[in-house]
Amino acid sequence: MSAVKKVVLAYSGGLDTSVIAKWLQETYQCEVVTFTADIGQGEEVEPARAKAKALGIKEIYIDDLREEFVRDFVFPMFRANTIYEGEYLLGTSIARPLITKRMIEIANETGADAVAHGATGKGNDQVRFELGAYALKPGVKVIAPWREWDLTSREKLMDYCEQHQIPVDFAKNKKKSPYSMDANLLHISYEGGILEDPWAEAEADMWRWSVAPEQAPDKPTYVELTFEKGDIVAVDGERMSPATVLATLNKIGGANGVGRLDIVENRYVGMKSRGCYETPGGTIMLKAHRAIESITLDREVAHLKDSLMPKYAEMIYNGYWWSPERKMLQTAIDQSQQVVNGDVRIKLYKGYVEVVGRRSADSLFDEKIATFEDDAGAYNQKDAEGFIKLNALRMRIAANKGRNNF
């Protein structure tokens, strides 16, 4: 192995990363720094400190990144109305650049010359972590144990724990969740188990954040959201921090059966993968954001944004958050949001999100022009005749040449 003096490990305190911490010490004979991020996964992160100490770790970082996650990553992404392949709200994808950023900061603070992660060689996360690491610290060494070691099963991991006296909260005979799950303030994802058969329906008891739509309240819930420059700043008139906004909408949406998704997506590494996701708050945010944009954005700006969004979503999904092209698009997107201010009223009912009102001091909706009643001359309908004829000119010419036969 090449010489590594110190490595920063993205550490959850679970089985895999506990084994990785010991494996790094043993294989690379180096000092290990652990980093545990609280991005709203809903589990206590402080126990990771005791587990790291038990492994002989001297430098332990546990950081609350919830506000930064929503403010600097989730909100900018939602300004673009970002969805991947028409459905996925990128909950896992958008968390990786923040975790990577903090890992590199810690590497710089501690003098580490390497970083390590627990992503497997089959998934997208290895790409996201490593593209980010190289973008932020070009000379860093990245260690991906799943691409190096022979601990290819849970049984082998447990045997390794026994051999090296690694204190983890697992037992050989303890039932493991059949799903691989990832959670943060934006979503929780489920993969593996029965979901590996794309024909099999997800089990009802799999879902953690939402009630089934058919079991949601029989009475609709109304929510009013206030936007400033494309971001939600208040819920029902109460101003909140970004993380609190998303946590609040998760709770409201989940209680109404909102945000469940079952898809087969195309991974960047080439394979198709079936996953289920719960994104209650994000589902509400997307619907509301499009509603406030519908009255505040110029038509061509809105259409241009929509045409750029799939490429922007692909950049985030594939791990190019720190790329110059993503930053360029973000600048344009953020500029468009200067007028995206106002209120949106949402109705939630048994999994359905419906926009029932929108208003803004920056609205381009002109009631005098749009009305079906007498507009008092605000719009001259005769102007439409020349407009239509000019737009039909090329088709009329083609028809005269016999090109529009049917």
What's the domain range around 385? Answer: 370-400
For residues 345 and 376, membership in a common domain is answered with: no
- Domain membership of residue 365 (yes or no) is no
DSSP 138: T
CB 137 within 8 Å of CB 103: no
Distance CA 45, CA 14 (A): 11
Distance CA 73, CA 90 (A): 11
Tally of domains within the chain: 3
Selected catalytic residue, list 38, 113, 125, 231: 125
Question: What pLDDT sits at residue 172?
Answer: 46
> What residue type is assigned to position 358 of the chain?
R
- Domain membership of residue 317 (yes or no) is no
Q: What are phi and psi of 62, to 5 degrees?
A: -130, 110
Distance CA 146, CA 50 (A): 24
Torsion of CA 227, 230, 231, 234, to 10 degrees: 0
CA 281, chain centre distance (Å): 11
Q: What are phi and psi of 145, to 5 degrees?
A: -55, -35
CB 4 within 8 Å of CB 28: yes
| 169 included as an active-site residue | no
Selected catalytic residue, list 49, 180, 182, 363: 180
Residue 301, CB half-sphere, CA atoms under 13 Å: how many? 19
CB 33 within 8 Å of CB 25: no
For residues 17 and 45, membership in a common domain is answered with: yes
Question: What pLDDT sits at residue 206?
Answer: 96
Distance CA 222, CA 348 (A): 6
For residues 17 and 105, membership in a common domain is answered with: yes
Question: What pLDDT sits at residue 406?
Answer: 72
CA 217, chain centre distance (Å): 28
- Domain membership of residue 314 (yes or no) is no
For residues 19 and 160, membership in a common domain is answered with: yes
For residues 151 and 208, membership in a common domain is answered with: no
Cα–Cα separations (whole angstroms), residue 279 to 76, 119, 269: 17, 22, 24
Containing H/E element for 291? helix 280-296
CB 124 within 8 Å of CB 93: yes
For residues 97 and 138, membership in a common domain is answered with: yes
Q: What are phi and psi of 200, to 5 degrees?
A: -80, 135
- Domain membership of residue 171 (yes or no) is no
Task: Specify the CATH number for the domain of residue 256.
Answer: 3.90.1260.10
Q: What are phi and psi of 349, to 5 degrees?
A: -155, 115
* Residue-level pLDDT, tens digit, the chain, 406 residues: 558 999 999 999 888 999 999 999 999 999 999 999 999 998 889 989 999 999 999 999 999 999 999 999 999 999 999 999 999 999 999 999 999 999 999 999 999 999 999 999 999 999 999 999 999 999 999 999 999 999 988 789 989 999 998 876 644 444 566 888 999 999 999 999 999 999 999 999 999 999 999 999 999 999 999 999 999 999 999 999 999 999 999 999 999 999 999 999 999 999 999 999 999 999 999 999 999 999 999 999 999 999 999 999 999 999 999 999 999 999 999 999 999 999 999 999 999 999 999 999 999 999 999 999 998 889 999 999 999 999 999 999 999 998 976 7
Q: What is the largest CA-CA distance in the chain?
A: 86
Selected catalytic residue, list 16, 38, 113, 231: 16
For residues 13 and 98, membership in a common domain is answered with: yes
Distance CA 182, CA 118 (A): 13
Selected catalytic residue, list 12, 38, 66, 96: 96
Question: What pLDDT sits at residue 15?
Answer: 87
CB 283 within 8 Å of CB 267: no
- Domain membership of residue 82 (yes or no) is no
| 125 included as an active-site residue | yes
- Domain membership of residue 322 (yes or no) is no
CB 102 within 8 Å of CB 64: no
CB 110 within 8 Å of CB 8: yes
- Domain membership of residue 192 (yes or no) is yes
For residues 47 and 66, membership in a common domain is answered with: yes
Task: Specify the CATH number for the domain of residue 69.
Answer: 3.40.50.620
Q: At what angle do helices 299-318 and 324-336 cross, to 10 degrees?
A: 150
For residues 122 and 233, membership in a common domain is answered with: no
| 189 included as an active-site residue | no
Nearest to 341 by CA among 235, 232, 244: 232
Which of 135, 164, 193 is at the close of a domain? Answer: 164
Question: What pLDDT sits at residue 168?
Answer: 66
Nearest to 229 by CA among 291, 181, 293, 165: 293
For residues 150 and 184, membership in a common domain is answered with: no
Report residue 266 as tokens: 């195309």
State in Å, rounded, how far the first CA of the chain is from the last one.
70
For residues 192 and 292, membership in a common domain is answered with: yes
> What residue type is assigned to position 111 of the chain?
G
Nearest to 294 by CA among 218, 365, 204: 365
Which of 164, 190, 224 is at the close of a domain? Answer: 164
For residues 351 and 240, membership in a common domain is answered with: yes
- Domain membership of residue 330 (yes or no) is no
Nearest to 23 by CA among 123, 146, 134: 146
Report residue 174 as tokens: 């303890």
Distance CA 131, CA 119 (A): 13
Residue 363, Cβ density class (10 Å: 0-12 exposed, 13-18 middle, ≥19 buried): middle
